[in-house]
Amino acid sequence: MIDDATYFLPVRVLAARIQAKKLSPVEFATGCLDRLEKLGPRYNAVVTVMRASALAEARMAEQEIAAGKVRGLLHGIPYGVKDLVATKNAPTTWGAAPYQDQKFDHDATVVERLRAAGAVLCAKLAMVELAGGMGYNHADASFTGPGLTPWNTKFWSGGSSSGPGAAVAAGLVPFAIGSETSGSILTPSSYCGVTGLRPTYGLISRHGAMALCWTLDKLGPMGRSADDCAIVLSAAAGRDESDETSSPRGFAYPRRAGVPARRLRIAVPKGVVEKVQPEVRANFEKSIDALKDVITVGRDVEWPDLPWGPAVSAIVGAEGAAAFIDLIESGRVSELKCPKDRSGGYAGTLIPAVDYLQAMRLRRPMKQAMAKLFSQFDAVASPTRGTVERPAADRGRQPVRAAGAGPAQRAGRERAAHLDRLHGAALLRGHAGGARQRLSVAHDLASEAAAGGMRLGSTQEVGR
């Protein structure tokens, strides 16, 4: 029988045990499936448990590994995907009642690539309905109920990747695939105390994923550490002919031992730290202090004076309304869970064209401003969110769906801690001196911080 602690181990350790025949992929997948069924409803984290297909994939992984055919670190590792990623073996609900019976006859590219790496897909995970609109700020905007953080189930797990954040934090799966348009990986990573990586636009193909904002949507991993996220990213990234916006460069991740050859230059924007809650600020400062041996910190760095927030709002509002125009015009928008989605979100489609075009024009000077900043620094660090998660009123929960029946065993202990467990920092990475610092550096930073009792909360990677 697998002990509870195993479900909270990082991918690299799990892979070593699986490849040494000390951990059975079938037994481990069965344990994760049981936990998803048993504990998933507690956090409103799971939409569909994919037991039959998951066990088939786990059996194949076990047979291949026994025969010496190891595909890599993800071979035999269970995971879940946010329920806007298409899967042919389970419904894809987009977190919204109008689409709760929606099915596709294909898998998304990210699912295909992770399957090729040997990972075992166990569940479709809950999300804020349609991944946006007014729903970003409303915990109850999901037909599965408000996502709850495992650290304290009176509080919201964040959105819109609410299920992936909670599922990883609770040890239901070792990692998950989330999506982000404007904070939907970083927020639940912060609120649930896991590590999230929002990759550069186009690094992971979006083929088979719901579109909210074509020019801003990204898919990315959520796991226990930067190392976990880098392992997943290396398997999922790369050019996909089915997604014309996908990047050809991929993401190579050879783990490097030791500390970087030189100190990394980290910028902390002026005024950011002073505006956050005291507890958040304290955790952020602990994170920075834990890295003092490998970084040089630039404090009070002037942030480019551009209308970042209004520009993003205009782009997401216009493209989101276009993406769901059929839902709006059919009147089925009234079926959405959150009243503000119906009255003030997607129903309000009249984003002036001039606002959208002006926002799009601002993208070039914004990129230029960030390129200038990253000519001086390797990364920008800030608190992931200015506040801790807020209480989430439980407005009803629905039972977890089952795609392949099976018994649920007793599993897991519920963790109960809050402020002092939250991650302290988000790291925005870029280019410096023309050379990309690979995410192995972020792993080194995360490991160093862990030794000091803290880890980086979430990581973004940006490119020119």
Catalytic residues: 82, 160, 184
Q: Taking the CA of residue 341 as centre, how many other CA atoms within 13 Å lie in the half-sphere pointing to its CB?
A: 30
Question: Which residue has 């879940």 as its token pair?
Answer: 80
DSSP letter string, 303-370: PP-S-HHHHHHHHHHHHHHHHTHHHHHHTGGGGSSSHHIIIIITT-----HHHHHHHHHTHHHHHHHH
Q: How far is CA 227 from CA 72, 241, 322, in A?
A: 14, 28, 37
CA distance linking residue 243 with residue 215, whole number of Å: 12
Within 8 A by CB and 6+ apart from 75, the residues are: 15, 18, 19, 25, 61, 64, 65, 117, 118, 119
Measured from the Cβ of residue 408, the count of other Cβ atoms closer than 10 Å reads 17
CA distance linking residue 121 with residue 275, whole number of Å: 40
CA dihedral 412, 180, 109, 91 (to 10 degrees): 60
CA distance linking residue 219 with residue 206, whole number of Å: 7
Give the pair of three-digit tokens for residue 320: 């989101």
CA distance linking residue 89 with residue 406, whole number of Å: 16
Please, are residues 119 and 235 in contact by the beta-carbon 8 Å criterion?
yes
CA distance linking residue 43 with residue 416, whole number of Å: 13
CA distance linking residue 44 with residue 184, whole number of Å: 17
Length of the chain: 464
Residue 227 has φ and ψ, to the nearest 5°, of -60, -45
Q: Taking the CA of residue 49 as centre, how many other CA atoms within 13 Å lie in the half-sphere pointing to its CB?
A: 29
CA distance linking residue 178 with residue 367, whole number of Å: 25
